[in-house]
Chain A
């Protein structure tokens, strides 16, 4: 994994600081061209991994890259699924089972439709889960997706329910079907790591908030430090600026001092900010951010 990964919250009006700012971002990135411009700026700064949700609009980005294979020959996607609001709204509208039915493949391959129907009827979680994963991954066909994530709300719900088998199903399917590494986004790293260890999911990639003020580090910053020191996993830090509560220099200096962090995922809307972050990581990380 690269030291720096590019995130996509800013493109979808996700801002943990201000609803006004979030709306301004939604307006600015309404046109997919504006998104691609920022991705290009990141690319030209050497940041070639895009860690993104499976929002429909990401499909447009993928299409653009597919149409320009020379420009993006070494581009890497780390998809994170599912785009949770799509499911949450469907659950509100149609209940959990109705929502499942809605997202199971019903058109196209008769085989998939059959598999879906049978899996639902049999309460076959593996069948249902793998079909949903395949549906989410459709838009990335032909792209380089060496790591595939499950989004935090799903990871943490599974963890909370104790539905551990779902982690194993996800990890196996991502490895077997996509030849990729399974990744887990979570807000509960200290609780997740031992569960994955117990399931035999070795050296997993885990992405979570890690920042100097402990913002949204559930269980406390001490528990995170302990877990980073004493367990074997590949940590990606997100929200290192704590949604803007930390000054960039201070935030990056601190994160680079933490043990066993492999990558940082960050979002930015301008080339100047992207460059600034890269330069700070080059300055504070023991090895350069990009090569």
Chain B
């Protein structure tokens, strides 16, 4: 049995605990949270060993792995402490709040040779996996542009202060929502060399963002656009979608389905034809052993457990990949803080270069 501890019992931590405890190869050896209330209830009714002090838990409990679901600001010290003790780590997203710190952790984990995974569960959604398969097969030829979107109803009015309302703690639409489509873009197309036109807009929040827009530029000339808003009540729950345009067709995908329009049959995987192809989640999703809220949540933890069991070095959601996403997030913040470029001078120069000093709008 693999001995696991779950740390941070908010929405994600509770969900991970509920999924991992029934796993046939896992024994939950301890749970840890800074607030005692829920911990006391769980201790009383589930018999789990509880800790409010993470360091004490690491010292006292013999662990193979830890699942960390605390606010992102706490990740770096918690992940480091676990790695130093030789414990495999599954960490919630976003990995850290600083692309450089993420890179350091990624280097450390490689050095230690431990299994490492970050909770970007969309990489375990059948439809988004199928997109990856289609792109790798060259189903739509040379990709020129990607649209990555996420919308949902999280913040619909101004409200009090929790870690989720503070960007400095890892709260906000960028970290909570936009990280997912960014991570999918990284998975499909790697790292952009730069970003532009980034907007981190506030709708209701005071200390963080509610909407995120940006353009990502890649070495080969392809571009990606990001459009994310977590203050959109017209969606029942978070909805993430990807559209990819290529020389030989177009792919659209969300959690439920993949639609491929292919201009020609050559190069398509088996079962696909020229013209419209639709694949639904019912075809694309493998059943799991235990289900709480979506196969992908169970599948990612099962993948983590199997990687430990089989001593696998591969992980499609390893710290390195998450560090890419954190780096893009850092780029977006820097770009948004720099603000829009005032192009009026350039326009004036183009229109009448000899008179640019007298331009009405020049600064």
Contact = CB atoms under 8 A, between A and B. Distances in A.
Contact of B21 (A91, A94, A161, A188): A161
Contacts of A153: 292-293
B256 A123 contact: no
B22 A191 contact: yes
B113 interface: no
B164 interface: yes
B160 to A, nearest CB: 8
A156 B282 contact: no
Given A95-B162, A96-B9, A160-B290, A242 B45 contact: no
A156 B18 contact: yes
B153 interface: yes
A97 B42 contact: no
Contacts of B153: 89
Given A17-B281, A157-B18, A214-B287, A93 B292 contact: no
B363 interface: no
Interface residues of B, number: 49
B162 A19 contact: no
Contact of A19 (B10, B42, B256, B287): B256
Secondary structure call for the A interface: helix
Contacts of A243: 280-282
A13 B236 contact: yes
Given A97-B38, A187-B291, A242-B282, A92 B11 contact: yes
Contacts of B155: 93
A188 B46 CA distance: 19
Contacts of B9: 96
Interface string B271-288: 000000000111101011
Contact of B18 (A15, A91, A161, A219): A161
B92 interface: no
Nearest to B281: A16
Interface in A102-126: 123, 125
Contacts of A26: 236
A17 B285 CA distance: 12
23 contacts: A12-B236, A14-B236, A17-B282, A19-B241, A19-B254, A85-B237, A92-B154, A92-B164, A96-B10, A96-B11, A123-B37, A123-B41, A156-B18, A160-B22, A161-B14, A162-B48, A188-B290, A191-B22, A191-B290, A214-B287, A217-B287, A219-B287, A245-B282
Interface of B: 9-11, 14-15, 17-19, 21-22, 35, 37-38, 40-42, 44-48, 153-155, 159, 162, 164, 236-237, 239, 241, 254-257, 280-283, 285, 287-293, 295, 298
Closest 3 A/B residue pairs (Cβ): A160-B18, A245-B282, A187-B291
Given A160-B290, A188-B290, 15 more contacts: A13-B236, A16-B281, A19-B255, A19-B257, A26-B236, A88-B11, A95-B10, A157-B15, A162-B46, A187-B292, A216-B287, A218-B298, A219-B287, A219-B289, A219-B290
